[in-house]
Amino acid sequence: MRIEWKEIPKEETIFKIASKYPGVSPKAFEAYLKMMWLSAQTERVMDTHFNEWGLSRGRFMLLMMLYGQCHLGFSANGEPGPAALSPSELASQLDVTRGNMTGLIDGLEREGWIRRESQPDDRRGLLIVLTDEGSARLEKLLPIHFQRMGRFLSKLSAGEAEGMLVGVQRLLSGLNGVREELEAVVKEKAKE
């Protein structure tokens, strides 16, 4: 169950909270809260968008990886790649467990979007391939998907988008610092 604010707290409330904790910029805290709220709102809209096609965000991402491999000739990192991927490669690139990947694959295979094939050089290995039906269905979805994404992003000027990208890189750097701190805490607790 996802719980989120219908509206974020008022600026005066944010400043009162942030002022209690040294080292917390009230404006940065407000930006954080608004970013989290926007993320939740975006996720809600995207869930509805993908549900229209019988998909989830995870299923869509898996399909797009296969689509990029099959039709565009490159992998998620932009490098040339094979037209099919193993379930473990997909799980690794999408950062999900193999069990979760099996569930995604099972559902998409039942619906005819993808199929499993034996690896030619390893009888035990499997490759996941986008079907012709899956490609056709994606090619119907993608114009609508990118039109909606364009509408969502249309309020940003090129300069604002560039500034946002710089800000995102800085936020990722800060997030990595928090991640490292949490990993150290987990290691310490494991020693106890």
Tell me, yes or no, whether 61 and 17 share the same domain: yes
Answer yes or no: is 3 within a domain.
no
Answer yes or no: is 4 within a domain.
no
Tell me, yes or no, whether 124 and 62 share the same domain: yes
Distance CA 93, CA 104 (A): 14
Total domains present in the chain: 2
Answer yes or no: is 2 within a domain.
no
Distance CA 47, CA 73 (A): 28
Q: What is the pLDDT of residues 58-83, one digit of tens each?
A: 999 999 989 887 665 555 555 545 56
* Domain assignment of residue 191, given as a range: 157-192
pTM given for the model: 0.78
| CATH code for position 26 | 1.10.10.10
Q: What is the pLDDT of residues 23-66, one digit of tens each?
A: 888 888 888 888 988 998 999 999 999 999 999 999 999 999 89
Q: What share of the chain in percent tops pLDDT 70?
A: 91
Secondary structure element (H or E) that encloses residue 130, with its range = strand 122-130
Secondary structure element (H or E) that encloses residue 116, with its range = strand 114-119
Tell me, yes or no, whether 35 and 71 share the same domain: yes
- pLDDT tier, 149 (very low <50, low <70, confident <90, very high otherwise): very high
